[in-house]
Amino acid sequence: MPILCKPAVSVPEHVVTLAQTLELCNTIHADHPQLELALRLLRNTGVQTRHFVRPLEETLSHPGLTERNRLYQEHSKLRVPPVIHEALSNASLGAEDIDAIVYVSCTGFLMPSMTAHLVNEMGFRSDTRQIPIAQLGCAAGGAAINQAFTFCTAFPDANVLIVACEFCSLCYQPTDKGVGNLLSNGLFGDAVAAAVVRARGGAGPRLERTASYLIPHTEDWICYEVKETGFHFRLDKRVPKTMEPLAPSMRALAQAHGMDASKLGFYIIHAGGPRILDDLALFLNVDRDRFRYSRATLTSYGNIASAVVFDALRRAFEDGEVREGATGMIAGFGPGITAEICVGHWAEDAFPAAA
């Protein structure tokens, strides 16, 4: 079975604190009729710091979609390669060993995809499969893992590189005044993550069974409105309640694999916000502390979209408490409303690398 090796994660150097976020909200939206509600929601996110690719004063300006997409291209080409190098090292592989690249992002647009640039500039083979995913939002991290599992199942000697590049700060829209947007302005951060899925060898979660689930007729609960000024994020107030209908699909996947979703050894869950984590703990009947890696990501980096699951997994590796054979689940949530889920066991070099 394929194994997801230790991820590499990098956040930009420009730090924004909760205190700065609250001060800006107070200043910029002083006459907003729901200012107190927005401030209370921001305090309740649990986000203490976030990281942006540009200084705060530049982030708050809007130079236009053309310039923002140019910045996305510039920063992705600058910041992605070092993270890939670390992820390859974590998997004890070189670029020439990679058979497919799954690249996920919802915060900028390039065609050809960044995968073409990576193949040309980083020593990947010219026959490396390119699998860009652009429209699954925060769920794309889980979807990328599931796609890597499928590829490695079809090609039993394959190695798949996953890259998640999210610069949420480049989507800030100063004209959006809805409470949902004010909350989003204090929730999302920037990050780059990468991880390798090895069909043979490696240590980490062994990917054994995957599933997707979409809550019917919720397309407009999390979405982009694409305008002349770029991507305008829309967040419905009903989103925090989606864990109740999603939890049964997670239970069903675990049960189909002979596991109890309430009694797993580790949980790598997308940290969309504290309510998401609290409700999922309730409906899966697990202690809130079982999601501590996801909460740590939310506190330190904010919601970093598709990169969340990789940072939470990195923290699990570094914590060192997950033992050989432990059962576990990885889950990403995003627009649709969609869940991308995987279950398996933690392995410590369970399958020796091919000679």
**Set 25, 138, 171, 342: catalytic member:** 138
- What do you get for the CA distance between the two ends of the chain, in Å? 18
What are the start-end ranges of the E strands in 95-136? Answer: 100-104, 129-133
Residue with tokens 């305090």: 43
Omega before residue 240 within 30° of 0, cis: no
Report the distance separating Cα 341 and Cα 199, nearest Å.
Answer: 19
Alpha helices in 91-139 (DSSP H): 114-122
Six-digit token string for 66? 């053309």
5 given a catalytic annotation: no
**Residue 62 backbone phi and psi in degrees, to 5:** -130, 95
Maximum pairwise Cα distance, the chain: 67
Q: Beta 327-334 vs 3-4: how paired, if at all?
A: unpaired
Report the distance separating Cα 295 and Cα 291, nearest Å.
Answer: 6
Closest CA to 330 of 274, 275, 259: 259
Report the distance separating Cα 89 and Cα 94, nearest Å.
Answer: 7
Q: Which residues sit opposite 331 in a β-bridge?
A: 269, 341
Q: With contact defined as beta carbons under 8 Å apart, do 60 and 26 qualify?
A: no
Q: With contact defined as beta carbons under 8 Å apart, do 234 and 220 qualify?
A: yes
Six-digit token string for 273? 């916000």
Catalytic residue positions? 138
